[in-house]
Chain A
Amino acid sequence: MAKTTYYVPIGPIHPALKEPIRVEAEVEGEKIVKVDVKRGFAHRGIEYMGMKRNAIQTLYLSERICGICSISHPYAFVIGSEKALGIEAPPRAQYIRTIIAELERIHSHILWLGVIAHEIGFDPLLFWTWKGREKVLDILEAITGNRINYSMYMIGGVRRDLKESHIKALRDMITYYWEFTEHMKEVFLSDPVYKARTRGVAQLSKEMALKFNVVGPTARAAGLRMDIRQDIPYDAYADMDIKAVVPQDIVGEARGDAYDITMVRLYEIEQSLDIIEFCLDNLPEGKILAIPNYVALLNKIKKTEGEAIGAHEAPRGEVIHYFKYDGKRDGPAVWKVIAPSYNNINSWAPLLLGAEVADIPVVVAYIDPCMCCNDRVAVVKDSSGRILDYSYLHKKAVEKTRKLEKELGVRK
């Protein structure tokens, strides 16, 4: 008897991923019967390098852990270091840090919405959302001087102050994004094809979310009210009453699928706008760095012993840093970093089991929203000799959308 299953490898280089990872699926007909996820293709030993440098160098190194949300790791780093060293950042710096972090959440969420639209086959939607994202990138560039690696945070404060012109630009941006998000909500949440394509795909229950230790929007879409900004607040978040965005508060129930994740991300953009507005309204005056002299800071680090955990809610979930300063060196003696994808990728295998081939791009993209734009071909033949590559998978995804569109009467 002929072999009934065929094998579909995705990655390590794949357009839906920011980092190389390999998903190996065994497919029977249209259903996935076996999945294996392999990672470690981009392990750069950053923790090891960080333990050999001083704390300020390590801070900038931590910014390079993630290319898209490059503020998440420095944020956790400065929170943890300040806790370990007993330094308190000035109030104004705390508010500026919060504003930058929320700006980043907005751009990261919009980026993800574009990616998921592309995976489903709505390319004009990808272009439109990414065009809307430019606005927040421009503001970030105006404030920090950089579009992606901001080099903004410092142990005990921030390196650049907010000027009047920035505050005005931020207020304009808030008005712009309220309108833009309203429009995005309409496009994503009420479109029947988008709904048909994402409802029930990548469905994670609350129990599974707990067991697989997932974090961030992935956990919240499953109905877990988990958010570091709410559970153990820090900086300006501690002055607000932040509530985790969960689908049950919006539509009454949480199903934990790709549609719910879209909803959580869209409402989180609005939440970020509220947070930025609060910070601008209550922005304290004063200095922005506790210890402006970096030599003095390194000397203090060299004399202080301590260990602490720094946690920050990044756009994709919580980032945790553990530090130990041993009082002999000016850098961390132990440094352990946990990024959100570290936990969230755990959920891929159970989600892919039983899913359709056309849904692989959606499941793979749903937790990890970055594009690396590297479309390489892997030549795989199925039992009938047909070649399966990434473009084939993408074509299948688009075909499914088109079929649904016809069924729902959106397209003739």
Chain B
Amino acid sequence: MTLTAEEILERLKEKLGDAILNYEIKEYKMGVKRPRTYQEIWMEINKDAFRKAVEAIFEIDYPHLHFIAGEDVGEVIKMIYSFGVFHSHPWGEVSIVMKLDLPKSNLVLPTITDLMIGAETNEREIREMLGIEFEGLKNKRHLFLPDDWPEGKYPWRRDEYGVEDMIKHTHKSVKEIRKQRGGQNG
């Protein structure tokens, strides 16, 4: 049994109440000879209700995680999570796109790897690219960035923690490594 976007939204509203700050159902028409529409749920939620919202989605149907992305917009980092529920059904998949504002003073989110181990890759990437700490994430090694990447530099940040002066820092770091290794080629 699949649910429509409206029904899913009703269930989420029941569970989350005021934590949903705003929502929208986007409709897209696809097809030439037999045009049909499909719907996507886009909503913004309060960051404190994040874990509850993810659990509510997992209760509806075991989702497929599309992506986790983030955007640096000044005072806050806008996180974007996209889940697909009711995949494996013709015309049935509904994407739930969840956005939340994380203030830069407290860049911490609970992990979802305990619910879905495959999310580890996404969380590790966001962690190294935007500097967001995931509480409960076990593997915190770099995913794409080299192991000797300078600390406190996040490639996707647009503030002073971004990579404007990356090259300078990288060279410095290589020099330091060479020094540590006692003059050998690092």
Q: Chain A's interface: helix, strand, loop or mixed, by majority?
A: mixed
Residues of chain A touching chain B, judged by Cβ–Cβ distance below 8 Å, are: 39-40, 43, 45, 48, 83, 91, 94-95, 210-215, 224-226, 230-236, 238-239, 241-244, 282, 284, 308-309, 311, 320, 322, 324, 333-334, 336, 338, 342-343, 345-346
Q: List 17 A-B contacts (CB under 8 A).
A: A40-B143, A48-B155, A210-B64, A213-B118, A226-B87, A231-B89, A231-B93, A232-B91, A233-B91, A238-B35, A241-B90, A309-B40, A309-B95, A333-B71, A342-B121, A343-B121, A345-B121
Give the residues in chain A near B80, CB-CB below 8 Å: 322, 336
A232 near B95 (CB under 8 angstroms)? Answer: yes
A212 near B118 (CB under 8 angstroms)? Answer: yes
Give the residues in chain A near B95, CB-CB below 8 Å: 232, 309
Q: Nearest Cβ in chain A — how far from B177, in angstroms?
A: 18
Closest 5 CB pairs of A and B: A213-B118, A238-B31, A231-B93, A336-B69, A40-B144
Q: Nearest Cβ in chain A — how far from B73, in angstroms?
A: 10
B34 near A39 (CB under 8 angstroms)? Answer: no
Q: Does B131 contact A (CB under 8 A)?
A: no
Q: Does B179 contact A (CB under 8 A)?
A: no
B67 near A239 (CB under 8 angstroms)? Answer: no
Which one of B30, B89, B156 contacts A234 once the chains associate, using CB atoms below 8 Å? B30
Q: Complex formed: what's the CA distance from A45 to B88 in Å?
A: 32
Q: Nearest Cβ in chain A — how far from B145, in angstroms?
A: 7
With contacts A212-B118, A334-B71 taken as known, whether A230 is within 8 angstroms of B28 at the C-beta atoms is: no
Q: Complex formed: what's the CA distance from A308 to B42 in Å?
A: 10
With contacts A45-B155, A231-B91, A309-B40 taken as known, whether A239 is within 8 angstroms of B34 at the C-beta atoms is: yes
Give the residues in chain A near B140, CB-CB below 8 Å: none
A235 near B90 (CB under 8 angstroms)? Answer: no
Give the residues in chain B near A224, CB-CB below 8 Å: 88
Give the residues in chain B near A345, CB-CB below 8 Å: 121
Q: Complex formed: what's the CA distance from A149 to B97 in Å?
A: 32
Q: Closest residue to A231 on the B side, CB-wise? A: B93
Q: Does B172 contact A (CB under 8 A)?
A: no
Residues of chain B touching chain A, judged by Cβ–Cβ distance below 8 Å, are: 26, 28, 30-36, 38, 40, 62, 64-67, 69, 71, 80, 82, 84, 87-93, 95, 97, 116-121, 142-146, 155-156
Q: Nearest Cβ in chain B — how far from A210, in angstroms?
A: 6
Q: Complex formed: what's the CA distance from A318 to B38 in Å?
A: 18
Q: Closest residue to B120 on the A side, CB-wise? A: A346
Q: Complex formed: what's the CA distance from A311 to B33 in Å?
A: 21
Q: Closest residue to B33 on the A side, CB-wise? A: A239
With contacts A40-B142, A231-B89, A243-B90 taken as known, whether A238 is within 8 angstroms of B118 at the C-beta atoms is: no
Give the residues in chain A near B71, CB-CB below 8 Å: 324, 333-334
Which one of A231, A235, A238, A343 contacts B88 once the chains associate, using CB atoms below 8 Å? A231
Give the residues in chain A near B64, CB-CB below 8 Å: 210, 213, 215, 226
Q: Complex formed: what's the CA distance from A242 to B95 in Å?
A: 19
A238 near B36 (CB under 8 angstroms)? Answer: yes
Max count, chain B CB within 10 A of own CB: residue among A48, A213, A234, A242: A213
Q: Complex formed: what's the CA distance from A91 to B121 in Å?
A: 38
A213 near B143 (CB under 8 angstroms)? Answer: no
A309 near B88 (CB under 8 angstroms)? Answer: no
A346 near B91 (CB under 8 angstroms)? Answer: no
With contacts A40-B143, A235-B30 taken as known, whether A346 is within 8 angstroms of B40 at the C-beta atoms is: no
A225 near B32 (CB under 8 angstroms)? Answer: no
Q: Complex formed: what's the CA distance from A45 to B154 in Å?
A: 12
Which one of B31, B82, B91, B145 contacts A309 once the chains associate, using CB atoms below 8 Å? B82
Give the residues in chain A near B118, CB-CB below 8 Å: 211-214, 343, 346
B32 near A238 (CB under 8 angstroms)? Answer: yes
Q: Complex formed: what's the CA distance from A309 to B116 in Å?
A: 21
Give the residues in chain A near B90, CB-CB below 8 Å: 230-231, 241-243
Q: Complex formed: what's the CA distance from A239 to B15 in Å?
A: 37
With contacts A232-B91, A342-B121 taken as known, whether A213 is within 8 angstroms of B65 at the C-beta atoms is: yes
Q: Complex formed: what's the CA distance from A241 to B87 in Å?
A: 15
A238 near B145 (CB under 8 angstroms)? Answer: no
Q: Nearest Cβ in chain A — how far from B57, in angstroms?
A: 14
Give the residues in chain A near B66, CB-CB below 8 Å: 309, 311, 320, 338
Q: Complex formed: what's the CA distance from A225 to B66 in Å?
A: 16
Give the residues in chain B near A212, CB-CB below 8 Å: 117-118
Beyond A233-B31, A243-B90, list 7 extra A-B contacts (CB 8 Å).
Answer: A48-B155, A225-B88, A231-B90, A231-B92, A309-B82, A309-B97, A343-B118
With contacts A212-B117, A225-B88, A322-B67 taken as known, whether A94 is within 8 angstroms of B32 at the C-beta atoms is: yes
Max count, chain B CB within 10 A of own CB: residue among A39, A236, A244, A309: A309
Q: Nearest Cβ in chain B — how far from A47, in angstroms?
A: 8
Q: Complex formed: what's the CA distance from A45 to B95 in Å?
A: 27
Q: Complex formed: what's the CA distance from A279 to B91 in Å?
A: 20
Q: Complex formed: what's the CA distance from A48 to B38 in Å?
A: 31
Q: Closest residue to B29 on the A side, CB-wise? A: A88
Q: Complex formed: what's the CA distance from A134 to B97 in Å?
A: 41
Which one of A95, A213, A336 contacts B32 once the chains associate, using CB atoms below 8 Å? A95
Give the residues in chain A near B143, CB-CB below 8 Å: 39-40
Q: Closest residue to B66 on the A side, CB-wise? A: A320
Q: Complex formed: what's the CA distance from A338 to B93 in Å?
A: 18
